[in-house]
Amino acid sequence: MPYADLSFDQWNDLSDGAAGRLAQEIADRHDLTVVGLKSTAYVGRSHRVALFDRDGMRFALVPGGRPALGYDAARFQPVSHQAVSYADSASEFGLPPLVEYVDAMTSPVRRVEMPAMLVAVEAFDPCEVPLAPDDPRVLELLASRGDRLGGVSTFRSAGGLRVEFDQAGQVVRARATREVSFDEGMSGLASIGLRTTTADEWEWACGAGAATLFRWGDDCPNDGYPFDYKTGPHRQKNLWGLAIGQDPYKHETTTERTIVCGGDGGSTTCGGSGFFLGWLTLATAYCDKEFGQWLASDDGYADEILTRPVIELS
């Protein structure tokens, strides 16, 4: 069976030994290293996660299938605090009825043939350039700050330099940022044999087949925005083992330039639009068409271009 035909049920039905051998075959074929194979659970669902390393970038196996993507807003039954929060927002901003709004802000229900693939555990910022600990820029920063770096685990300079330290004060990771366009970012991924997700792939990677509004269910907190919560189901890695859709400020691009996923750049939260609307930006099928079109326009601006790299299985 071709690796790309591997479905969720087929993968989880394998014995541990067979799954380990298959993971190693995938790694050998794609010049990767297997770094983990474990059973995990997320909001009551279980799955076997396979993790791979490619030049320091971690990938997880996401099985394929023919999942239903999108969201049917007609089936959404808001709890009381969601309804009250939305009613307040609708009154202030002149919004349509709740179901109509949710329908407008989520992608339509559809069935999609999805191949198995390897998806990056963390979003990737092509604006970032990794630096060695002894890079002159890092050494200059250390010399200029001296003892003032004592006890700091991460330091960000005004010039776009980010340096992370261990408990002993040694540099463990350093990165510099540069401004790039969307096309430059996508070309940069292609140059290292990767691409970003399509909108369909992103939804499948995020929701892992969950039919609820959010990947963890239909409910959400009623006394703060996602950014206010440092713990919770949105901060946990999902069923596939991906850190995805965790922060509305960290929206991700897709192959379709006007479609971004996983957030709205924080505009809803920053604008104080209401707690339910703030959480809605983390809905698996959330799609703010106006925001995506603005980002793709000449007026659009983002200080980072986050992507979710994919390795296609052959």
Count how many domains the chain has. 2
Whether residue 185 sits in one domain with residue 162: no
Instruction: Provide the pLDDT confidence category of residue 165 given band limits of 50, 70 and 90.
Output: confident
Per DSSP, which regions of 25-108 are E strands? 33-42, 45-54, 57-62, 68-69
| pLDDT tens digit sequence for 274-299 | 999 999 999 999 999 998 898 888 77
Tell me the CA end-to-end span of the chain in Å, nearest whole number: 11
Asked if residue 12 and residue 138 are part of one domain, the reply reads no
Locate 156 and state its tokens.
């960000």
Q: Which of 157, 177, 197 is the last residue of a domain?
A: 177
- What values do phi and psi take at 64, rounded to 5? -100, -165
Q: Are residues 168 and 261 in the same domain?
A: no
Residue 151: pLDDT over 60: no
DSSP 32: -
Which of helix, strand or coil describes residue 8?
helix
Q: Both 184 and 280 in a single domain?
A: yes
Expressed as residue numbers, the domain containing 234 is: 3-126+180-312
Q: How confident is the model at residue 314 (pLDDT cuts 50, 70, 90)?
A: confident
Q: Judge whether residue 61 has pLDDT over 60.
A: yes
Summarize pLDDT for 226-271 with one digit per residue, the tens: 989 999 999 999 999 999 999 999 999 999 989 999 999 888 998 8
| Residue 46 shares a structural domain with residue 187 | yes
Task: Please say whether the dihedral angle defined by the alpha carbons of residues 218, 77, 94 and 300, taken in this order, is positive or negative.
Answer: positive
Per-residue confidence (pLDDT) for residue 301, from 0 to 100:
66
Mean pLDDT of the 199-228 span: 96
- Looking at the fold, whether 207 and 301 belong to one and the same domain comes out as yes
pLDDT score at 1: 65
What is the C-alpha separation between 162 and 280, in angstroms, rounded?
Answer: 31
Are 88 and 169 members of one domain? no
Q: Assign 36 to helix, strand or coil.
A: strand
Residue 100 shares a structural domain with residue 145: no
Look at residues 116, 147, 177 and tell me which one is the last residue of a structural domain.
177
pLDDT at 91: 97
Using the 3D structure, point to which of 110, 145, 177 is the last residue of a domain: 177
Same domain, residue pair 138 and 259: no
170 lies in the same domain as 51? no
170 with 195, same domain: the answer is: no
Q: Judge if 143 and 83 occupy the same domain.
A: no
CB neighbourhood size of 77 (10 A):
9
The pLDDT tens digits for 90-130 are 999 999 999 999 999 999 999 999 999 999 999 988 777 67
pLDDT higher than threshold 70 for residue 221:
yes
